[in-house]
A and B are shown apart, each in its own frame.
Chain A
Amino acid sequence: MNNTFTIFENFGHSLKASSYRFQPKNIEEICEVFQLAKKTGLTVNARGGGRSYNDASLNGGGILLDLMAMNQVLEWDPASGLIRCEPGVTLEQLWKKVLPDGWWPPVVSGTMFTTLGGCLAANIHGKNNFRMGPIGEQVVEFNAVLPTGAEITCSPNKNADLFYSMISGLGMLGIFTSISMQMKKMHSGLIEVHAWPTRTVEDHLGLLEEGAPKYDYIVGWLDTITIGHGQIHAANYLHEGDDPEPQKTMQLSYQNLPSRLFGVMPKSLLHYFMIPFTNNLGAWLINTGKYITSLRKHTFRESHAAFHFLLDYIPLWELSYGHNGLIQYQSFLPKETALQAWTEMLTLAKKQGLPSYLGVTKRHRPDKFLLTHGVDGFSLALDFKVTDSHRAKLHQMLQEYDRIVLKNGGRFYFAKNSETSAETARAFLGTETIERFKKLKKRCDPNNLLESDLYRRVFCT
């Protein structure tokens, strides 16, 4: 084995880890890596697009199984909307494959550069979590290879225990090798978006709850500097006949995000212009500007890609947070306690002078997956810039946040928070769930070959 490392980062560029990189092209090559790991005593972690905000796709000092070369769409049936893909297929590949035939992936994340394998491992959700559940609920069947070399097929009826634990299982039980999913029929490449402002947190949550049953998607933006200012975007699919030219709008050329701003400036440069705004004053200016322009209630139509993949609208936006990167803190709270918890959290941030520069809210519902983050309530995702001078202070505040969330019966999401401790994880998952997960891990991975930095942080101490 070569003793050279490759350096990997998380999405927020706030963590770096060096690993031995292997890029398998098929199941046999995955098994070879497991054998090598067993021989050398190293651990293995799978990585797809590397879009988790924390250490889920990292394995410092160990082997990283880069699955981006297993990126073939294996079967696609435009009549039924059933698709079977390898784990390295990205959401971008997926929607580009199915949209021209009149379909759309029913659950997508805010960036299209995630892979299906990663989406299942984290059990991602979209702005329609309250309606469609996490991505796992759209999976019809998957195949996986276990570290023992065994190949298994799982569906809600077959190997159901592994189906509900490998999805959400953070890649710690086995490696997905093919995934079958049901797409959703579309009648247009456009989506109708309704936007309206909110003035208080109470107002905000009330509108999210009230709006959810009426729309296919709902998402809120919450200003955490002028607490309570915000905006809600709710969207509905167009019905048959609403779009006079569905053939045209479902073409890929119609969906592509513009690569230039005002038709001149390449957007790949845009993140440099954001640097002056990633500080308290700049964020206040942006948030206030955004709020003022959103005061008018309005309705518009935009492409699916533009609505769903907001994070891709400004390429490399995460670099504007500077060389220490950013972290995201997302909490999921039951609808009864969300208002109280978030008011306490946002007030604390304001008092500490550590406001988040971006706050995003969503409506959720519980699901049956083992390491679920689902609640009958809301989530609030907060982006924080990491700087050398406030690291310790921010760490302390987030620990306080953890206590507030736990006290209010909340949960956390393993693709986001990077500071969650083992105690916090035990508190919200429950000892019983963790024991069940460990028992399954022992069964699937008796030699403990699969480990990530996240797994060591949350399940090993």
Chain B
Amino acid sequence: MSDSSKPASATPLLPRRRAILVGSSGGIGTALAHKLASEGYTLALLDRNAELSKSISNEINNHYGEIRALSYQHDVTDYNSVPDLLRRVVADLGGLDLFVYVAGFIHYPNISEYNFEEDRTMIEVNLLGGMAWLGQVAPLFRSMKGGQIVGVSSVAGDRGRVGNPGYNASKAGFTSYLESLRNRLTRHGVNVITIKPGMVKTGMHELPGAPRPVFVIMPEQAADEIWNAIRKRKQVVYVSRIWRWIMLVIRHIPSFIFRRMSF
């Protein structure tokens, strides 16, 4: 449920853009919520953890002394609730300029582990949830001839590694889905951004089995870089930028070598 109070009004002299963040209570989601609020956005924060998103919205609203963030409880695997919820959230915000899907789930398996339950959850959260939302948001933005969609995928979607087949598949699927959306929507004035974070210091990297951290950045830096991508209407952005070059190399490792690697 959202707060009963209404967000501050937009006027010609105090224009406000509106954004929805799905998965707003993770590391990147929280940092991005604060960043967008500081840029004057009115936000709808959707998360499975209602208390957490409520506390983030309270923090934002208290900081700015006006209602800039509304919070909603939502589980992205509850696909059927999406159309009604989207309609309600857009009505509460008074419109929509930006949609960000940052919900994500990861399980780090052993090198010989095949765990369908965990794989399914990763596909459901990382891919199907995104498709459920973007399938509703895309026609809306298309009819408005504007708006931006940000999908937070991962460098993990660039290559299938030995480490995590399920996660790689979910992120590769999401990256492809976003690319298709971009090709469908650019001609209608809608910009679609694929964000590919490398290593960001979030809860994901504190889970058992997480890889040794390299080139780690803080979520705040990730949020700044995502905001830059939004501001400049970019298309595919690695966060941080070094991952663009790392992945360039990794993408070009020939299979006869890659399949022998333990990474």
Contacts and interface: CB of A to CB of B under 8 A. Distances in A.
Interface in A61-97: 61-62
Nearest to A393: B13
A254 interface: no
Contacts of B251: none
Contacts of B262: none
B145 interface: yes
B12 A386 contact: yes
B143 A4 contact: yes
A41 B9 CA distance: 20
Contacts of B136: 3
B140 A325 contact: no
B11 A418 contact: yes
B14 A395 contact: yes
Nearest to A13: B12
A40 B144 contact: no
A60 interface: yes
Contacts of B92: 61
A453 interface: yes
A17 B12 contact: no
B111 interface: no
B95 A17 contact: yes
Given A325-B12, A386-B13, A7 B144 contact: yes
Contact of A5 (B6, B12, B143): B143
Given A4-B139, A5-B143, A42 B91 contact: yes
A17 B11 CA distance: 11
A4 B10 contact: no
B7 to A, nearest CB: 9
Given A3-B140, A461-B6, A41 B91 contact: yes
Interface string B102-132: 0000000000000000000000000000000
A451 to B, nearest CB: 9
A453 B7 CA distance: 11
A395 B16 CA distance: 14
Interface in B88-102: 88, 90-96
B95 A61 contact: yes
B167 to A, nearest CB: 31
A457 B14 CA distance: 12
B12 A60 contact: no
A456 B142 CA distance: 27
A6 B143 contact: yes
A327 interface: yes
Interface string A364-399: 000000000000000000000010000110110010
A419 interface: yes
Interface centre among B10, B11, B14, B140 (most CB of A within 10 A): B11
Contacts of A150: none
Contact of B12 (A3, A15, A43, A456): A15
A391 B88 CA distance: 31
Interface centre among B8, B90, B92, B139 (most CB of A within 10 A): B90
B91 A43 contact: yes
Contacts of A12: 12
Contact of B8 (A42, A55, A461): A461
A327 B12 contact: yes
B84 A4 contact: no
Contacts of B140: 3-5
A264 interface: no
Interface in A427-461: 453, 456-457, 460-461
Contacts of A42: 87, 91
A327 to B, nearest CB: 5
A272 B44 CA distance: 40
Given A4-B139, A61-B92, A460-B6, A18 B87 contact: no
Contacts of B13: 327, 386, 391-392, 394-395, 398, 418-419
B74 to A, nearest CB: 16
Contacts of A18: 95-96, 143-144
A45 B88 CA distance: 16
B262 to A, nearest CB: 48
A461 B87 contact: no
B28 to A, nearest CB: 26
B211 interface: no
Given A18-B95, A60-B95, A3 B139 contact: yes
A14 interface: yes
B209 interface: no
B83 interface: yes
A456 B6 contact: yes
A114 to B, nearest CB: 20
A378 to B, nearest CB: 25
6 contacts: A3-B86, A7-B144, A15-B11, A386-B13, A398-B13, A456-B6
Given A40-B84, A461-B6, 16 more contacts: A3-B136, A4-B139, A4-B140, A41-B87, A41-B88, A42-B91, A60-B93, A60-B94, A60-B95, A324-B12, A391-B12, A392-B13, A394-B13, A419-B13, A457-B9, A461-B9
Interface of B: 6, 8-15, 83-84, 86-88, 90-96, 136, 139-140, 142-145
Interface of A: 1, 3-7, 12, 14-15, 17-18, 40-43, 55, 60-62, 324-325, 327, 386, 391-392, 394-395, 398, 418-419, 453, 456-457, 460-461
Q: Considering the complex of A and B, which 6 residue pairs feature the smallest CB-CB distances, nearest first?
A: A14-B12, A60-B94, A4-B143, A457-B9, A395-B13, A60-B95
